[in-house]
Structure 1
Amino acid sequence: MTAASTSVVTVQQEHQAQHTPEHPAFVDLQVHTTASDGALAPAVVVQAARDAELAAIAITDHDTVDGLDEATEAGAALGVRIVPGVELSTHFEDEELHLLGLHIANRDAIRSALQELQAQRVVRAERIVEMLNAHGMPITMEAVLREAGEGAVGRPHVARAMLAGGWVKEFREAFDKWIGFGRPAYMAKDRFDVSDAIALVHRAGGIAVWAHPGELATLARIRRLMDVGLDGVEVLHPSHPPYLAQRLFDHVRQLDLLPSGGSDWHGTTDGPRKLGGQLVPHAWLARQDARVSAKLASVG
């Protein structure tokens, strides 16, 4: 990002002009695998990133780092850099806030806390199944766990079990009619304060990025999150229209935070969440690298 670059579009265009298959200009810093609720195994995701001519991807599964070893091995073989990450569901000022932990260096420092969160996910899924049963839908927890496989259990697995059982006609219908916010079988997650989540990410050597903040990311709210250690904001995301991406980009520049972006890809082959579709500049990853190195130097 140069001083003369005042818009997200300008930055993307500058990098597009430099892009070649041999020297990829773009990265995708929010990607999910079967380690949580993605549809594809980590190694398959890395191959897809290679096919999309991405220089790097961040594996950011929900509440787990279990897919990172496989992804890193595949990345080394295919020439795709893997940024180790995680996505955490937290709360801030009575709002749910998703936080990305990127550049996780010490997985052991974060794993035990994540295992507790995964256990809470199972309890939540059990409560959702009970509520669906009470509404006459004979779905079982065994069916949900089959959909989850070895991954951290989440509502998408409940939705897939509902679809497999024929109780909904489409995946999205499960959320829209049954398990989405305000619907008959909605169950909120246990509260995890964002300050605790940021501290956890920092203990693991990573940086904390506010994921897909949408219209909630006012300048004042971002400043309050900086007070508890926020390092960056996800500027580019499929849910952010151009005007919002530009506003977030301006906030990040004004506050000297780190810009980030990603497709939030879960393995779909169509729709807006296409792997690499956000054209996140490689220079943004370089800025994150520099910040991580500076943090390490300051504590060394």
Structure 2
Amino acid sequence: MKRIDLHVHSNKSDGTLSPSEVAELAHAQSLCAIALTDHDTIAGIKECQETGRELGLEVIPGIELSADYHGKEIHILGLYLDLSNPILHETLKAFVEAREKRNQEMLAKFQALGFDITEEDLGPRDQLSIIARPHFARAMMNKGYANSMEEVFEKYITPGKPAYVQKAAPTFKTCIDLIHQVGGKAILAHPYIYKFVNQNPLPMLDELRYNGLDGVEVIYPKHYEPETHRLTQYCKSHNLIITGGSDFHGDNKPNLQIGCGYGKTEVPYELLEQFVKA
């Protein structure tokens, strides 16, 4: 079976491999196509596409946007974006500025807790387009304040913990509309990992679909088989695009592999035909 992966991150956001290294790894894993979907940035796509062309790997221009859903955070993937559209660049600049404000507030909280963490510890700013929570977690681990990134998340940077700052995210409708404005398809990422859905994401999907959602990330490493089946039936019933991906982040998710997740996630190439028909 020809395989693809439509949810992949590079070090332009919170992955650890460069866009070129992502393409090389995908090719080494015999993937036919990937979508580079870094958080709130398209900075790595051209590099990834250039390497992909050399290797015969299709690289779909994508993004993962954080969106507000009635006070809760969800993620919406944009696939097949028009990278030349000025609206995309202008809007993403505002998103990055909001992230930077949040990062400064989180940095101040860590310092107030007595941790000697500076901006320089978060990574080389001339190479990073986005600073996110994994950068804080790795900095804490590198400084010897924690034994793992998971420990930092659990103790400090999840909602309710002392260094957490709520992200100022645009509404889900704003994200869907932006993706459509720049020629893309809007896909809800990993519906079953949002704790607030209480194992029933269908009411949320109904509302998102009413507001223009094009598809759902059905195949995902943390989705159980009954959940995948339920989402597949929902998409077929409502003429929504079915996608899938590993959510690869390199060493920031060390047991999660590109193209196969935890070893069992397989996304068939045939799913790309839906984008042609949609």
Runs of 4+ in 1 over 4 A off after TM superposition: 269-272
Find 1:162's aligned residue among 140, 161, 171. Answer: 140
Alignment pair present for 1:290 and 2:267: no
Unaligned 5+ segments in structure 1 are 1-18, 20-24, 292-300
User: Is the 1:90–1:197 contact (alpha carbons within 8 Å) kept by the matching residues of 2?
Assistant: yes
Find the residue that maps to 2:90 and give its secondary structure: helix
Alignment-derived partner of residue 213 in structure 1: 191
Alignment-derived partner of residue 9 in structure 1: none
Find 2:74's aligned residue among 88, 97, 106. Answer: 97
Rounded to whole Å, the distance in 2 between the matches of 1:89 and 1:102 is 15
Check 1:244–1:271 CA distance in 2 against 1; reply closer, same or farther (3 A cut): farther
Alignment pair present for 1:224 and 2:232: no
Note the aligned Cα RMSD (angstroms): 1.7
After TM superposition, give the deviation of residue 147 of structure 1 in Å.
Answer: 7.4
Once the two structures are superposed, residues 133-170 of structure 1 have per-residue CA deviations (whole angstroms, 9 ceiling, x without a partner) of 11111211222243783231111111111111111111
Q: TM-score, normalised by structure 2?
A: 0.91
Check 1:269–1:203 CA distance in 2 against 1; reply closer, same or farther (3 A cut): closer
Alignment pair present for 1:76 and 2:53: yes
Alignment-derived partner of residue 113 in structure 2: 135
Once the two structures are superposed, residues 208-242 of structure 1 have per-residue CA deviations (whole angstroms, 9 ceiling, x without a partner) of 00001116353332121111110000001122122
Rounded to whole Å, the distance in 2 between the matches of 1:97 and 1:107 is 26
Q: TM-score, normalised by structure 1?
A: 0.85
Alignment pair present for 1:117 and 2:104: no
Alignment-derived partner of residue 247 in structure 2: 264
Alignment-derived partner of residue 238 in structure 1: 221
User: Is the 2:39–2:63 contact (alpha carbons within 8 Å) kept by the matching residues of 1?
Assistant: yes
Aligned residues: 268
Matched to 1:165, the amino acid is K
Once the two structures are superposed, residues 83-102 of structure 1 have per-residue CA deviations (whole angstroms, 9 ceiling, x without a partner) of 10000000112221100000
Matched to 1:290, the amino acid is K
Check 1:34–1:179 CA distance in 2 against 1; reply closer, same or farther (3 A cut): same
Alignment-derived partner of residue 20 in structure 2: 43
- Spell out the pairing of 1:191-206 with structure 2 (5 A cutoff): 191-206=169-184
Alignment-derived partner of residue 87 in structure 1: 64
Rounded to whole Å, the distance in 2 between the matches of 1:146 and 1:47 is 23
Matched to 2:249, the amino acid is H
Unaligned 5+ segments in structure 2 are none
Find 2:164's aligned residue among 169, 183, 186. Answer: 186
Alignment-derived partner of residue 281 in structure 1: 268
Rounded to whole Å, the distance in 2 between the matches of 1:69 and 1:89 is 22
Rounded to whole Å, the distance in 1 between the matches of 2:158 and 2:31 is 33
User: Is the 2:191–2:201 contact (alpha carbons within 8 Å) kept by the matching residues of 1?
Assistant: no
Identity of aligned residues (%): 35
Matched to 1:88, the amino acid is L
State the structure with more CA Rg.
Answer: 1
Alignment-derived partner of residue 231 in structure 2: 248
Check 1:183–1:91 CA distance in 2 against 1; reply closer, same or farther (3 A cut): same
After TM superposition, give the deviation of residue 192 of structure 1 in Å.
Answer: 0.8
